[in-house]
Amino acid sequence: MSRRVRKEVREWDGSNWILQVDEKYVYSGWNLLAVYNGRNSDAPLRTYTWGTDISGTVGGAGGIGGLLSVQEYSGTYAGKIADSKNGFL
């Protein structure tokens, strides 16, 4: 199974490439669990909470419709995401 595990964005300042973004991704199967800041001692940026998906199981439909909440760690809470049990948010 192939997943994006890291994202690096660099900007050219005229003589050097300067790292602007370094994000690391953690998955459980198809479900993204967390994103960490590689520029800040791997501090958490976002975490994701999953429940049962549209198949009625955890991950039977690849997580579609199972995302319950997203937590932002920039100092403010992003809020809850409601699941309609039809795969819509």
Average of per-residue pLDDT values in the chain: 83
Which residue has better confidence, 1 or 51? 51
What percent of the chain is predicted at pLDDT more than 90?
A: 43
Q: Is the pLDDT of residue 34 over 90?
A: yes
- CA pair distance 40, 74, nearest whole angstrom: 12
CB contact set of 9 (below 8 Å; sequence gap of 6+): 19, 20, 21, 22
pTM of the model: 0.76
Read off the pLDDT band of 5 (50, 70, 90): very high
